[in-house]
Amino acid sequence: MAGPTKAQIEARLAELEAENARLRGALEENAAMRAEAPAAVAGPVAPAPRHRGRAFLAIVLIVVATLLAPVATVVGFAARETSDTEAFVRTLAPLAEDPAVQALIVDEGTAAIDDALDTDALVNELLSSVIDADSTPRLANASELLGPLLADQARVAIRSALTTVVQSDAFATVWEEALRLTHKQLVAVLEADAEGAVSIDDTGVVSIQLAPIIAQLKPALVDAGFTLADSIPDVNASITVAEVPAIAKARLAYSVLTTVGNVLPWVALLLLIVGIAIHPRRPRAIIVAGTLLLVVGAVLAGSIAIGGSVAAAMIATQVPTDATDAIYGQLTGEISAVMLAYAVLGVLLILAGVFSGGSSLGSGVRRSGSSWLARGSAALDARGWRPEGVGVVLHRMGWLLWLWLALVLAVLVSTMRPLNVWDVVVGTVVLAVAAGLFLVFRGPGPAVTGDEDSVVDEESDVVEVADADFDEFEDEPQI
Lowest mean pLDDT among 186-190, 243-247, 374-378: 243-247
Instruction: Taking residues 171-197, report their average pLDDT.
Output: 75
Which class for 459: exposed (0-12), middle (13-18), buried (19 or more C-beta within 10 A)?
middle
Residue 245, pLDDT score = 60
Query: 5's torsion region: left (phi>0), alpha (psi -120 to 50) or beta?
Result: beta
pLDDT of residue 448 exceeding 50, the answer is no
CB 444 within 8 A of CB 376: no
Measured CA to CA, the distance from residue 152 to residue 137 in angstroms comes to 24
pLDDT of residue 318 exceeding 70, the answer is no
Q: What is the pLDDT of residues 267-290, one digit of tens each?
A: 988 998 899 888 888 888 889 999
CA distances from 309 to 325, 327, 328, 448 (A): 7, 12, 9, 57
Q: What is the pLDDT of residues 356-371, one digit of tens each?
A: 777 777 777 777 777 8
Flag whether the pTM goes above 0.75: no
Residue 303, pLDDT score = 83
What is the dihedral angle through the alpha carbons of 241, 244, 249, 255, rounded to the nearest 10 degrees?
10
CB 90 within 8 A of CB 418: yes
Lowest mean pLDDT among 68-82, 225-239, 329-343, 423-437: 225-239
Measured CA to CA, the distance from residue 67 to residue 436 in angstroms comes to 30
Residue 317, pLDDT score = 56
Lowest mean pLDDT among 31-45, 176-190, 266-280: 31-45
Measured CA to CA, the distance from residue 90 to residue 418 in angstroms comes to 7
Which residues, other chains included, contact 424 with Cβ-Cβ below 8 Å and sequence gap of 6+? 337, 340, 341, 344
DSSP alpha helix (H) spans, 167-230? 171-190, 211-223
- Which of 57-61, 84-88, 119-123, 157-161 is predicted most confidently? 57-61
Measured CA to CA, the distance from residue 116 to residue 464 in angstroms comes to 105
pLDDT category, 428, cuts 50, 70, 90? confident
Q: What is the pLDDT of residues 148-157, one digit of tens each?
A: 777 778 888 8
Lowest mean pLDDT among 19-33, 270-284, 321-335, 445-459: 445-459
pLDDT category, 384, cuts 50, 70, 90? confident
Instruction: Taking residues 133-162, report their average pLDDT.
Output: 71
Q: At 430, is the secondary structure helix, strand, or coil?
A: helix
pLDDT category, 41, cuts 50, 70, 90? very low
End-to-end CA distance of the chain: 10
pLDDT of residue 95 exceeding 70, the answer is yes
Measured CA to CA, the distance from residue 366 to residue 385 in angstroms comes to 24
Measured CA to CA, the distance from residue 127 to residue 125 in angstroms comes to 5
Residue 135, pLDDT score = 59
Measured CA to CA, the distance from residue 446 to residue 151 in angstroms comes to 88
User: How many CA atoms does the CB half-sphere of 475 hold within 13 Å?
Assistant: 6
More confident of the two residues 165 and 450: 165
CA distances from 427 to 8, 70, 110, 453 (A): 76, 19, 44, 40
pLDDT of residue 459 exceeding 70, the answer is no
Q: What is the pLDDT of residues 42-85, one digit of tens each?
A: 444 444 455 788 889 999 999 999 999 888 888 888 888 888 88
Measured CA to CA, the distance from residue 158 to residue 166 in angstroms comes to 12
Please calculate the CA angle 266-268-273 and round it to the nearest 5 degrees: 95
Q: Considering the chain, what is the average pLDDT of its residues?
A: 75
Measured CA to CA, the distance from residue 89 to residue 60 in angstroms comes to 39
Measured CA to CA, the distance from residue 271 to residue 394 in angstroms comes to 25
Angle of helix 247-278 relative to helix 171-190, nearest 10 degrees? 90
pLDDT of residue 132 exceeding 50, the answer is yes
Instruction: Taking residues 430-441, report their average pLDDT.
Output: 88
pLDDT category, 307, cuts 50, 70, 90? confident
For the four alpha carbons of 237, 242, 244 and 245, in that order, the dihedral sign comes to positive
- Cα–chain center distance at 132: 72
Residue 50, pLDDT score = 57
Residue 90, pLDDT score = 87
Instruction: Taking residues 159-181, report their average pLDDT.
Output: 84
